[in-house]
Structure 1
Amino acid sequence: MTKTLRDLLAQAEAWPLEDQDDLAEYAREIEARRTGIYTMSDDERAAVAKGLAEADQGKFVSDEVVREADKRHER
Structure 2
Amino acid sequence: MTKLLEQAVEAARALPPELQDDIARLVLQLAGEEEPPVILSAEERVALDLSKAAAARGEFATDEQVRAVWAKRGL
Q: Output the TM-score relative to the length of structure 1.
A: 0.47
Greater Rg, structure 1 or structure 2?
A: 2
Which has the larger share of helix? 1
Q: TM-score, normalised by structure 2?
A: 0.47
